[in-house]
């Protein structure tokens, strides 16, 4: 973190800029703190990835990786998550450049809609897998699979609830300083989930297509 001279302030994520006064001054410490949370979350995910990698062979004769991958659904989920991330970015840019609260809420809800599309497709995949007998109790491999993919899904679900919460806050309080910094942090969280998803489709789903 830099000194308190306002023009020097800069933090990861979209910087609001000096025009935002209090929100801009508050953003730097809270965003840095939030980064520490995100990085600890990254360590958690990394360990789930490590456990997944060591359990690849532990299928106990049950369904393996190749049996549960539906590549069309994975491509759609990836697209939905990316579009959602872009829309959240547009919402933060709108907030930074003084758009009306209504406009910011509109982009946030659009972002939420794509997040929910992702969740819907993921739940459908989980139900399909369960129908094939690929339930978490079946083998060590499937426990690791459900834990890793499910943990990411849980994060997206929590993020979706948080988008609704900040939208409600914007509707009630307008774009107050602390509401703005919350939107910034939620944006970091939302983009961060995309990064985890890159790991998931590259490590879990796409190698499953290997013939």
Partner 1 sequence: MSDKNKRAHDLRMYFTGFGLAVTLTALSFLTAILQPFGPVGLFASLAVLAIAQVIVHFRFFLHIDLSRQKREDLQLILFTVLIIAIMVAGTVWVLGNLMTRMM
Per CB under 8 A, residues contacting partner 1 are 1-2, 8-15, 32, 35-36, 39, 42-43, 46-47, 49-51, 53-54, 57-58, 71, 75, 78-79, 82, 85-86, 89-90, 93, 96-97, 188, 191-192, 194-195, 198-199, 201-203, 206-207, 209-211
Distance CA 96, CA 19 (A): 9
* Smaller CB separation from partner 1, 130 or 140: 140
* Smaller CB separation from partner 1, 15 or 130: 15
Q: Which residues contact 148 (CB under 8 A, 6 or more apart)?
A: 45, 48, 49, 51, 52, 200, 204
DSSP 158: H
CB of 114 to partner 1, least distance (A): 12
Closest of 154, 146, 158 to residue 63, by C-alpha:
146
* Smaller CB separation from partner 1, 96 or 180: 96
CB of 172 to partner 1, least distance (A): 26
CB of 3 to partner 1, least distance (A): 10
CB of 64 to partner 1, least distance (A): 15
Q: Indicate the Cα dihedral angle 88, 41, 159, 1, nearest 10°.
A: -50
Number of helical H runs and strand E runs in the chain: 6, 0
* Smaller CB separation from partner 1, 33 or 133: 33
CB of 24 to partner 1, least distance (A): 13
Distance CA 163, CA 100 (A): 17
């Amino acid at each position: 973190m830099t000194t308190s001279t306002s023009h020097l302030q800069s933090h990861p994520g979209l910087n609001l800029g000096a025009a935002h006064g209090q929100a801009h001054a508050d953003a730097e410490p809270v965003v840095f703190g939030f980064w520490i949370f995100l990085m600890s979350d990254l360590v958690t995910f990394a360990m789930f990835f490590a456990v997944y990698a060591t359990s690849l062979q532990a299928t106990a004769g049950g369904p393996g990786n190749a049996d549960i991958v539906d590549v069309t659904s994975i491509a759609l989920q990836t697209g939905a998550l990316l579009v959602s991330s872009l829309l959240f970015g547009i919402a933060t840019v709108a907030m930074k450049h003084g758009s009306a609260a209504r406009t910011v809420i509109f982009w946030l809800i659009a972002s939420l809609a794509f997040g929910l599309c992702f969740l819907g497709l993921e739940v459908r995949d989980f139900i399909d897998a369960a129908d094939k007998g690929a339930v978490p109790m079946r083998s060590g491999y499937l426990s690791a699979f459900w834990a890793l993919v499910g943990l990411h899904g849980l994060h997206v679900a929590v993020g979706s609830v948080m988008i609704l919460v900040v939208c409600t806050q914007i509707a009630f309080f307008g774009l107050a300083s602390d509401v703005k910094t919350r939107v910034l942090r939620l944006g970091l969280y939302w983009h961060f989930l995309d990064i985890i998803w890159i790991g998931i489709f590259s490590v879990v789903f796409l190698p499953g297509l290997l013939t």
